[in-house]
Amino acid sequence: MALTILGLSGALTQDPSAALYIDGKLVAAAEEERFVREKHAKNRMPYEAAKFCLQFAGIMPSDVDAVAIPFASISLGKKARWHYAKRYWYAPDRALDVIFAGNRHFHRYKKRIEWCLVQLGFDLKKVEIVPVEHHLAHAASAYHCSGFHEKTAILGIDGKGEYATTFFGYGENGKIHKIKEFYDPDSLGGLYGAITEFLGFEMLDGEYKVMGMAPYGNPNKYDFSRLAKFENGELVINTDYANVIGIRRHKENGKGFHFSPKLIEWLGPKRVGDIADAPYIHYAASMQKLFEDLSLQMIDHYLGDILRETGKLAFSGGGALNVKLNQKIIARPELKELFVQPASGDAGTAVGAAAYVSVERGVPVEKMEHVHLGPSFSNEDVIAACARHPAQPKWQKINDVPLEIAKILADGNPVAWLQGRMEFGPRALGGRSILGCPSVPGVADRINEQIKFRERWRPFCPSMLDTVGPQMLGSDHPAPFMTFTFEVAEEWKNRVPEVVHEDGTSRAQVLERKFNPRYYDLMNELEKLTGNGVVLNTSLNRRGEPMICSPTDALNMFHDSDLEYLVMEDVLVTKPNKR
């Protein structure tokens, strides 16, 4: 009998997702937001995502051996709840609550999972629900999916799970060993999130915008060291300023923030608007530097010996999406290979929990080599969506998609690209993308202003052929998921300026053909036309919206933006007067 494990995330009230392992193979995975068309799908359960996974695999709820959830009860005998109570002494109601009812959130979440399973047709008497600690699920999503066979250092950095905020451990012979955890409020991810709020973005959503803003500022103009320190093996966040609760929160218009009025006294008013200007660009740079410096110190302290022994590191949690930190980790001389879980945020814990349970039951899981794990659509589906759409779009089938689209791109036009299975995780990697030719001056600004409607200082990223990666990036480190930045070679900065950020780096995807042949062939054709096997790639969505899932979603976006070309499988949709 096949071992079938369904992972369901969503414990932290956002980013619910589902992942399905059958005999160690990740058959399907998807995020709820893509189906319900609501960014982060807050306060929802992964109903549509789970339904898709089961239908894609052609299985019934009764075929599932266990449902893994990435959240567990935490015993009062462990340090976590006492640490929380002690550090939040100034809010005695919270401190006492965590001692006497510290697993209330877990019990509420489990009930919601049970409700979701009933809606999906599960019999609760016959299905086993297996809780996995949140940071263990993150760790499993990194280690078990890395494909590393040597002893592997494991790092997890995020806001928080149940109580843990940071995980250090190692994997050996398929087993995960915990070395150390830090607990709320001592959270580097939480501190980054609090400063994200101060800089005018939403916590758990805008951290990558802070990272994009940082290169415009001077990290040495303001000393942020008072906010956090790492000494004697312990991380301590200064809760006079950040990671605050209750009475210490700064409040505006009835909303409480994760920083205090004392931060405002020190740094001035919270940023508003879309402009990246002083002093806020310097604050972003200082926060990024503090995050990098403390992360590297912690890695050295807890994982340095393992890295010097084997050179392998698996990294997950929201902090693993900080591509600038990852660039610094790769630069460490003892590091041979860094695997960053591509869905490092909480959505990826559905994969991690399911992988952990599979391995515990004796079935190892496959290395994660691509993230094309969501729904796909046939030409017939696409044509039917065009026929149903109120805008009555003009469409035609084309014979050689890579060649035809490469010509349109080389002429300077952005193209919306929906091909194959939808990606799992936050990055568009050639399944649901808006593409541009990176040697055409101004194409990035055009996509920003006319299509994405997002902040103009945000970088655009390149996808490239695996033959180009080592030349352009000066590195042969695997980079299939856009989870690292690299310094771009001088010659290439001039050749593809539209995908080089302010600091001379690019967050790159280096593609092997076997994982996405059509996307690879498009870059091949573009190389013949322009000399560069590189394409500008950004996610197929508008600001504040989830990535597109279906042809109908794509058509809605197409007709509500200035896009002029949309290719879905072999079907090219154009606006009037084009082609």
In CATH terms, 182-340 corresponds, of 1.10.1040.10, 3.90.550.10, 3.30.420.40, 3.30.2090.10, to 3.30.420.40
The single-letter DSSP state of residue 165 is E
Q: Is the pLDDT of residue 183 over 60?
A: yes
- Matching CATH topology for 4-80+90-147+346-360 and 379-574? no
Fold exhibited by the domain 379-574: DHBP synthase (3.90.870)
Phi, psi of 27 (to 5 degrees): -80, -40
Question: In Å, how far are 123, 267, 347 from 117, measured between CA atoms?
Answer: 8, 48, 18
Kindly report the average pLDDT of the chain as a whole number.
Answer: 96
Q: Is the pLDDT of residue 507 over 60?
A: yes
Q: What is the pLDDT of residues 327-371, one digit of tens each?
A: 999 999 999 999 999 999 999 999 999 999 999 999 999 999 999
Name the more confident of 15 and 454: 15
Could you tell me what percent of the chain has a pLDDT over 90? 94
What confidence tier does 217 reach under pLDDT thresholds 50, 70, 90? Answer: very high
By the 8 A CB rule, do 301 and 233 touch? Answer: yes
Task: Of 355, 375, 340, 359, give the one whose Cα is nearest residue 554.
Answer: 375
Query: d(Cα 97, Cα 111) in Å, to the nearest integer?
Result: 20
Q: What is the pLDDT of residues 398-408, one digit of tens each?
A: 999 999 999 99
Question: In Å, how far are 333, 460, 469, 534 from 506, measured between CA atoms?
Answer: 21, 8, 11, 12
Q: What is the pLDDT of residues 111-126, one digit of tens each?
A: 999 999 999 999 999 9
Give me the torsion for CA of 208, 213, 215, 217, rounded to 10°.
-140
Cβ-in-10-Å burial (0-12, 13-18, 19+) of 528 comes to exposed
The vertex-463 CA angle with 458 and 464, nearest 5°, equals 140
Q: Where are the domains of the chain?
A: 4-80+90-147+346-360, 182-340, 379-574
Coil, strand or helix: which one is 86? helix
What confidence tier does 454 reach under pLDDT thresholds 50, 70, 90? Answer: confident
Q: What is the pLDDT of residues 286-314, one digit of tens each?
A: 999 999 999 999 999 999 999 999 999 99
Q: Is the pLDDT of residue 579 over 60?
A: no
By the 8 A CB rule, do 337 and 166 touch? Answer: no
Fold exhibited by the domain 4-80+90-147+346-360: Nucleotidyltransferase; domain 5 (3.30.420)
Over range 540-565, report the average pLDDT.
95
Q: What is the pLDDT of residues 91-102, one digit of tens each?
A: 999 999 999 999
Q: Is pTM beyond 0.85 here?
A: yes
By the 8 A CB rule, do 13 and 1 touch? Answer: no
